[in-house]
Amino acid sequence: MTITQTKPGAGVEFRALRRTFGSTVALDGLDLTVAPGELLALLGPSGCGKTTALRMVAGFDHPDSGQVLVDGVDIVGVPANKRDAGMVFQSYSLFPNLSARDNVAFGPRIRKVDAATRRARADELLAMVGLPTQGDRFPHQLSGGQQQRVALARALALQPRVLLLDEPLSALDAQVRLTLREEISRLQKNLGITTIFVTHDQEEALSMADRVAVLRDGRLEQCATPIELYHHPATAFVAEFVGTMNRIPGRLTGSGRVEVAGQQMPVIGDVPTQTAVDVLIRPEDVRVSADVDGPARVVTVSFLGPTTRLFVELPDGIGIKADLATRQASGLGPGAAVRVELAEHPVMVSASR
Amino acid sequence: MAALTRRTRVWHGLVLAVFGLYFAAPLVASFVFTVDVPGQGLTGQAYADILGAPGFTDGLGLSLLLAVATIVLVLALVVPAMVAVRLRPGRLGTVVEVLCTLPLVVPPIAFVAGIGSILQLGPERLSDTPLYQTFLAVQDERFPVALVLSYTVLALPFVFRSLDSGLRAIDVPTLTEAARNCGASWWQVLVRVLLPNLRSSLAGAAFLTLALVLGEYTIARILTFETFPVWIVKVSGSEARLSVAVSLLSLLITWLLLLALSSAGTRAKTASEE
Amino acid sequence: MPTVATTVSPPVPDTAPAVSGRAGARPRRSSATLAALPLLVFVTVFFGLPMVAVGIGAVTVTDRATDTTTLTAANLSRSVQGAYLDALTSSIKLSLITAALGVVLGTLLAQAVVASRLPGLRNLVVTASGVLANFGGVPLAFAFIATLGISGVMTELLHLTEAGWSLYTPAGLAVVYLYFLIPLMVLVIAPALDGLRPQWREAAANCGATGWQFWRLIGLPVLGPSLLGGFVLLFGTAFAAYATAAAMVGSVLPLVTLQIADALSGNVLIGQEGVASALALDMVIVAGLVMAIYLPLQRRSARWLR
């Protein structure tokens, strides 16, 4: 492909952003920095303010207070049509009266680029997003995945310094979602364009992003690489929001240790004041072995391919999930008596609920 | 969502106020006209006179009779055809749709010009054939079948649209297959399964036809039958206040009926969407 | 009352699945035809024959003395000459003007209602429009006579006669027609306005377009078919209107519907049926052209605004 980003990606910074809608607080003092050329995912439950933050970069929403800086310049007062950020919307954003090519060429047309040049540029972009022969089709003749590819090409047509993706895959079928996910990552790496990607799908965020920012109630909980986020969550909220997590009741014994399921484990992170707590343990850190005298029972078995997830009931009635390599799970059917052990990692605890 | 600016709010409010005034003014003014008689002050006499006015009960009675006959005929014609077309999609469906939409293209006054020519054939050409009696019968002024037939034609587009949207909302082939699977005969499928599910759109079609017939003036006037609207125009020459009072009442009653119908329709729709 | 004014419902997706290959519970083709047969026969006879009669009446003349019918172009040529031509052109002119006003005012009202983002108000206006658009006729005419007629309440209250106002002019008739044309336009355009997605506006801004550029390049082209379709529908409705005009102005104004009625009722010379048929045929041709424009447009906008 001949397309190269002629402008380098810009750095984006949110400073103390605050935005309220009536009595709901969408952003409650958000501070976040996006490095030039980075793909950053904004992850969080719905209503956490992630889309609001994104729309502020595009100029569709304005903070009550705080700043949005692009390359160190506050852009809050700049109108939406004068900003240097291409956006891909969740769905149905293509202009229905224009062909795919004319949709992509819309921005250049507004900027008074001559017809031949913008046509060539549009065809080049369409080829880049994998639609080399669909330029004459109208949006209603394209599938959902194809429409989002065109929308991506349109967002890139003005060679913006920031690319904004607002849940661009959430309206698509699972299979299309997977392919498009990979293509967006590839394109972004090739172009080196700073990209902010809003999603509520943690798998999407973890697989695509250089760094993931987890938002909750309009504030930043943690911003880190996917691996860091998964293995060293900063808060109990992040720990539970990212990946699957067991909550097992335990008791703080002082000196930074907790007693849980008959084992003593070191504690990391914040510690609540009360002694009765929930211990957070990932399913892959739960070891299950067949043992006729074992106190626990297997309740259900779900085969997931390379791994198998067991739902095991402990003697005191607590249910926990355990992920085993499928080979080790053979012979463990529902009702089997088992012994449960927890991997000896430091664990996070949270106030019991 | 970006909040609406104050200026747009004021602008919208202004637009709505002006239109509200335009649509309310004739109703309010008509009411004032009927109750405020110069020299007598406020009086409800115009309304009291309606029931006793000569020709009122005859005109209204005739219009109601025509309405009922038209509703029965139009539903009996359209319902089986549309259900059959749903079960057997194909060219027939297009034919039915085109036939039912076609009357829209023809203004009633042009339609009645044709009816007039046909009815004239009776005395002119067929006076010594048995058909002549038929021509006389359809123009019987106590129950003019000619009007029922004409109104059925005029009502076709309304009834078609109403039933079409009703049929789109239910999956006729699956419902029918389920009922057949449970051992229902074709008749039972229609009466026990499909019609109950089409109740609101059938009611809609019936109400629209009722309103159409009660308000139809062109054809009745040209064929010289004294239906309700024709009577209103006739009486207006001598009793201006009375004719306005009747007009106002009939407008309000028709509108209330239709309003009740369409809000019932919206409720049923939202209920099914939940 | 014009019957062109049908309730326009937003495009409903066809939920019935394709049923090809499901033979089990379907009636045979012949019985489907049988069920539709009464309707087909009815329309052919009671709609088709009158229309044929109009066609024949327009191109033939019957000599009563000899009882012979001969082909002639005289009726048709008379129908587009002199007073008849005046009536035809003033009907078309009145319909064009009221339709244009109806499109602008109806769109304005619908935009105010849709943009207000108050679902209650929206439902109320759309429901009321469905009612107002369809039925008026004689009662509406009398309501306006009582309001804006010579001794109408508003006329006397605001001294409109001194200001040169008369209800019994084309302008007066236009005010009355708009009472059902504006609601009709609201019904046509409200779903189209709903279909204008906020994303399009934002995407346009994101590509650098100003508000005006958005409307010129995206908004109006997308609404275009609906606006034009609405115009055509309003034109047809105004063109066909008879009851309102007849109850209000009698035969004072030259309108083609009133001319046909006069010819049919024998208010003028005997032997006018031929001209009446010719005028009726003229109307059907105009209305038919109008529908031929409207239907494809509606399909196109339904596809865009899904």
Answer whether A105 touches C (CB < 8 Å). Answer: no
Chains in contact with A via at least 3 Cβ–Cβ pairs below 8 Å: C
Asked if the Cβ–Cβ distance from B236 to C247 is below 8 Å, we say: yes
Sheet with A73-74, edge to edge strand ranges: A24-34, A12-21, A65-70, A73-74
- Report the gap between the CA of B152 and the closest CA in chain C (Å): 9
Q: Is the dihedral of CA C39, C40, C45, C49 positive or negative?
A: positive
Asked if the Cβ–Cβ distance from A95 to C203 is below 8 Å, we say: yes
Distances from the Cα of B57 to the Cαs of A297, B50, B64, B160, B244, in angstroms? 85, 9, 10, 32, 17
Radius of gyration of chain A measured on its C-alpha atoms = 24
Distance separating alpha carbons of residues C65 and C62, to the nearest angstrom: 9
Distance separating alpha carbons of residues A142 and A338, to the nearest angstrom: 53
Helix (H) or strand (E) holding A141: none
> Residue A76: CA atoms inside 13 Å, Cβ hemisphere, count?
16
Asked if the Cβ–Cβ distance from C283 to B102 is below 8 Å, we say: no
Model confidence pLDDT, tens digit, residues C39-73: 999 999 889 888 888 888 888 777 666 667 777 77
Q: Which residue has the tokens 């051992």?
A: B183
Answer whether A298 touches C (CB < 8 Å). Answer: no
Asked if the Cβ–Cβ distance from C260 to B80 is below 8 Å, we say: no
Domains, in order of start, for chain B: 57-273 (1.10.3720.10)
Q: Which of C141, C136, C173 is nearest to C247 (CA)?
A: C141
Tell me which chain A residue has its CA closest to the CA of residue C305.
Answer: A96
- Report the gap between the CA of B234 and the closest CA in chain C (Å): 10
Model confidence pLDDT, tens digit, residues A310-325: 999 988 888 899 998 8
DSSP state of C44: I
Radius of gyration of chain C measured on its C-alpha atoms = 24
Ranges of chain A with pLDDT below 50: 1-2
DSSP string computed for C211-272:
HHHHIIIIIHHHHHHHHHHHHHHHHHHHHH--HHHHHHHTTSS--HHHHHHHHHHTSS-TT-
Task: Report whether pLDDT(B97) > 80.
Answer: yes
Asked if the Cβ–Cβ distance from C203 to A110 is below 8 Å, we say: no
Distance separating alpha carbons of residues B73 and C189, to the nearest angstrom: 33
Answer whether B129 touches C (CB < 8 Å). Answer: no
Question: Once rounded to an integer, what is the mean pLDDT over residues B27-54?
Answer: 81
The pLDDT assigned to B263 comes to 66
* Among candidates A59, A81, A87 on the partner chain, residue whose Cβ is nearest the Cβ of C210: A81
Q: Which of A296, A306, A304, A307 is nearest to A334 (CA)?
A: A296
Ranges of chain C with pLDDT below 70: 1-29, 63-67, 134-136, 251, 266-272, 298, 300-306
Answer whether C182 touches B (CB < 8 Å). Answer: yes
What backbone phi and psi angles, to 5 degrees, belong to C68? -115, 145
Asked if the Cβ–Cβ distance from C203 to A93 is below 8 Å, we say: yes
B:205-234 residues touching chain C, CB 8 A cutoff: 208, 211-212, 215-218, 221-222, 229, 232-233
* Among candidates C31, C42, C131 on the partner chain, residue whose Cβ is nearest the Cβ of B77: C42
Query: In this structure, which topology does domain A244-351 adopt according to CATH?
Result: OB fold (Dihydrolipoamide Acetyltransferase, E2P) (2.40.50)
Distance separating alpha carbons of residues A213 and A42, to the nearest angstrom: 5
Do the beta carbons of residue A297 and residue A337 sit within 8 Å? yes
Distance separating alpha carbons of residues A107 and A102, to the nearest angstrom: 9
Tell me which chain C residue has its CA closest to the CA of residue B27.
Answer: C143
Tell me which chain B residue has its CA closest to the CA of residue C199.
Answer: B1
Q: Are strands A337-342 and A286-290 parallel, antiparallel or unpaired?
A: antiparallel
Q: Which residue has the tokens 């003593």?
A: A264
Asked if the Cβ–Cβ distance from A97 to C203 is below 8 Å, we say: no
Query: According to DSSP H, which parts of chain C are helical?
Result: 29-43, 49-59, 74-79, 82-115, 119-134, 137-148, 153-157, 170-195, 198-206, 211-214, 220-240, 243-249, 256-265, 273-304
- Please tell me the CATH code under which domain C82-304 is placed: 1.10.3720.10
Domain residue limits, chain A: 12-238, 244-351
Tokens for B136, please give them.
């006389």
Q: Which residues contact B128 (CB under 8 A, 6 or more apart)?
A: none
Chain A residues whose CB is inside 8 A of the C222 CB are: 95-97
Chain C residues whose CB is inside 8 A of the B76 CB are: 38
Asked if the Cβ–Cβ distance from B85 to C139 is below 8 Å, we say: no
Asked if the Cβ–Cβ distance from C206 to A155 is below 8 Å, we say: yes
Chain A residues whose CB is inside 8 A of the C213 CB are: 110
Question: Once rounded to an integer, what is the mean pLDDT over residues B236-250?
Answer: 83
Give the number of other CB atoms < 10 A from CB of residue A245. 18
Distances from the Cα of B233 to the Cαs of B112, B236, B239, B246, in angstroms? 19, 5, 10, 11
The pLDDT assigned to C3 comes to 35
The pLDDT assigned to A329 comes to 81
What backbone phi and psi angles, to 5 degrees, belong to A245? -140, 140
Helix (H) or strand (E) holding C159: none
The pLDDT assigned to C126 comes to 81
Domain residue limits, chain C: 28-72, 82-304
Q: Which of C265, C276, C261, C267 is nearest to C61 (CA)?
A: C276
A:44-73 residues touching chain C, CB 8 A cutoff: 58-60
Asked if the Cβ–Cβ distance from B84 to C47 is below 8 Å, we say: no
C:215-254 residues touching chain B, CB 8 A cutoff: 236, 239-240, 242-243, 246-247
Answer whether B253 touches C (CB < 8 Å). Answer: no
Asked if the Cβ–Cβ distance from C39 to B99 is below 8 Å, we say: yes
Chains in contact with B via at least 3 Cβ–Cβ pairs below 8 Å: C
Give the number of other CB atoms < 10 A from CB of residue C123. 14
Chain A residues whose CB is inside 8 A of the C306 CB are: 140
Query: In this structure, which topology does domain A12-238 adopt according to CATH?
Result: Rossmann fold (3.40.50)
Helix (H) or strand (E) holding A244: none
Task: Report whether pLDDT(B272) > 50.
Answer: no
Asked if the Cβ–Cβ distance from B258 to C288 is below 8 Å, we say: no
Interface test with A, best of C117, C206, C297 (most A CBs within 10 A): C206
Chain C residues whose CB is inside 8 A of the B268 CB are: none
Asked if the Cβ–Cβ distance from C264 to B150 is below 8 Å, we say: no
* Among candidates C26, C142, C288 on the partner chain, residue whose Cβ is nearest the Cβ of B244: C142
Per the prediction, chain B carries an average pLDDT of 81
> Residue B265: CA atoms inside 13 Å, Cβ hemisphere, count?
24
